């Protein structure tokens, strides 16, 4: 589980973090995606998990983040199409299990979760 999950836009074709602008209106992070990871939304029930992208600065806004693979770059390209839909990878108990498995995998492989 993320210690402090901030607001996040799961379908952005770049970093999905939402950052304060100073005038009360949140803005999307404008940085290019450098990492792929999982973002679990336990609410509303039964909860969903998505493949998301972050910049280095916001890598702590997703679980099991890793450097981009070719398949991630292809997904980012697909998401640049405004008509592209982004479906959850899993829902409910399967979503929780997927996040736990991914985090365990990256921890046991020695892959740093954050830069």
In the complex, which residues of this chain contact Zn ion (CB under 5 A)? 15, 17, 29, 31, 55, 58
- Cβ pair 71, 40 in contact under 8 A: no
Q: Which is nearer to Zn ion, 32 or 69 (CB)?
A: 32
Cα distance between residue 102 and residue 38, in whole Å: 8
Q: How far is the CB of 36 from Zn ion (least distance, A)?
A: 13
Q: Which is nearer to Zn ion, 6 or 46 (CB)?
A: 6
Q: How far is the CB of 50 from Zn ion (least distance, A)?
A: 16
Q: How far is the CB of 76 from Zn ion (least distance, A)?
A: 14
Q: Which is nearer to Zn ion, 40 or 58 (CB)?
A: 58
Residue closest to 10 by CA, chosen among 45, 49, 47, 44? 49
Q: How far is the CB of 113 from Zn ion (least distance, A)?
A: 16
Helix (H) or strand (E) holding 97: helix 92-108
Cα distance between residue 30 and residue 96, in whole Å: 29
Q: Which is nearer to Zn ion, 80 or 101 (CB)?
A: 80
Helix (H) or strand (E) holding 38: strand 35-41
């Amino acid at each position: 589980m993320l210690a402090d999950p901030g607001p996040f836009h799961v379908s952005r074709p770049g970093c999905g973090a939402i950052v304060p602008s100073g005038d009360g209106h949140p803005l999307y992070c404008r940085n290019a995606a450098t990492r792929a990871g999982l973002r679990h939304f336990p609410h509303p029930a039964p909860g969903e998990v998505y493949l998301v992208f972050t910049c280095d600065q916001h890598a702590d806004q997703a679980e099991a983040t890793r450097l981009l693979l070719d398949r991630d770059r292809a997904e980012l390209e697909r998401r640049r199409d405004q008509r592209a839909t982004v479906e959850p990878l899993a829902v409910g108990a399967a979503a929780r299990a997927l996040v736990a498995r991914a985090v365990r995998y990256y921890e046991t492989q020695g892959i740093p979760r954050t830069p």
